[in-house]
Amino acid sequence: MLKNKNIILGVCGSIAAYKAAVLVRLFIKAGANVKVILTADAANFITPLTLATLSKNPVYTQYFEEETGVWSNHVELGLWADYLIIAPASANTMSKMANGLCNNLLSAVYLSAKCPVMFAPAMDLDMWKHQSTQSNIAKLKNYGNILIAPNNGELASGLFGEGRMAEPEEIIAFLIAYIKKDLPLLGKKVLVTAGPTYEAIDPVRFIGNHSSGKMGFAIADQFAKLGAAVTLVSGPTAEKSTQHLTRIDVQSAAEMLDSCRQHFKDSHITIMSAAVADYTPITVASQKIKKQEGELSISLKKTTDILALLGTQKRKGQILVGFALETEQEEEHAKAKLLKKNLDLIVLNSLKDKGAGFKTDTNKITIFNKNFDKKEFEVKSKTAVAVDISNEIMKLLSK
């Protein structure tokens, strides 16, 4: 859930600041990217060096570092974060947040943040119960900020009661639960194929195509963001996923077929965006073929049509999506493929469209459903195209 999430941890002046070290460690262990903002009072309880070492990032303490001349851009930090978590949140900082005061870096980042903001108060019992504190908390919640309620327990003053900051493990669990509740595909299994296949001629050479895998990886990442358990079967590519998923690397069409057969039966949604070879050499030379005079002929045989095979095995309730990359009579060929291979949707690319096709960071698609209803999209980044594709698939799930 937290892999590659960008988290800013704001640490305020409180004895509970020592828990920030454990919290940062847990975030890093979960795969998150963490930047820490330490208020001046917080630095009396825990050192920037400790948090910088654990977070693997410099710790921010003020707008401007006089010794280095570095300015901390609060707007940039606010936009970077997927989540801003203030823990411990002192009564002083909560008062600033509630009333729009902005006299330190943390309060400036808070006012600039576009992401969900969570705050975990920590203070003595009487401070927690004071009417002004409760009024500020009510304001913060009304603004859309999310309270991570304190626990009952022994306090630094020796009193026993409410005001003890939630434990780091509880904050992690709270954040994960928050993320999960807005994930529409939680519990769903999604199979995605991406990239080319390489069909060996000899130990050195192969038959391949220009697919980079960018589109398939963008689709896999998008479905992982929606909470699905994604299995990505990828041909040879330099692309890397930004999300937590299961990646299976293959070389040939036969290897991709084996992996798809294995995982298709358990998948709720399958999106076949790989550019699978239609033909493969009948015989693969065991040694490198030497250059000779005259022509060289290589006999080819058809590969198994993976998409068509899965279409025959599709069960009620499964969604199967194919891609069609065409150079002529694009729509006619796409519709025929949709029908012949028992697909629920087909995504059409044309190599004639500027900004579409292999190796580009953009794409232009048209989607057809079973009724041949057509939806055209503008040229967009492949990340944005993946969102469009996921939205059309989500419509099928809601029917």
Q: Supply the residues annotated as catalytic.
A: 209
Backbone angles phi, psi at 282, to 5 degrees: -65, -40
d(CA 94, CA 74): 18
d(CA 135, CA 364): 51
Structure tokens at 178: 């928050």
Question: Which residue, chain included where needed, has tokens 């990032």?
Answer: 57
What ranges in the chain are assigned the alpha helix state H?
19-29, 48-55, 74-80, 91-99, 105-112, 125-129, 131-142, 168-181, 214-225, 253-264, 306-313, 330-340, 382-397
Burial class, 142, CB count within 10 angstroms (exposed 0-12 / middle 13-18 / buried 19+): exposed
Beta bridge partners of 160: 154
Give all strands of the β-sheet with 269-272 in edge-to-edge order. Answer: 246-249, 229-234, 189-194, 269-272, 319-326, 345-350, 366-369, 374-376
d(CA 232, CA 273): 10
d(CA 88, CA 390): 38
d(CA 50, CA 57): 11
State yes or no: cis peptide before 88, omega within 30 of 0.
yes
CA 367 to chain centre: 24
d(CA 184, CA 207): 40
H-helix or E-strand spanning residue 153: strand 151-154
Q: Which of 152, 171, 201, 209 is nearest to 299 (CA)?
A: 201
d(CA 125, CA 130): 9
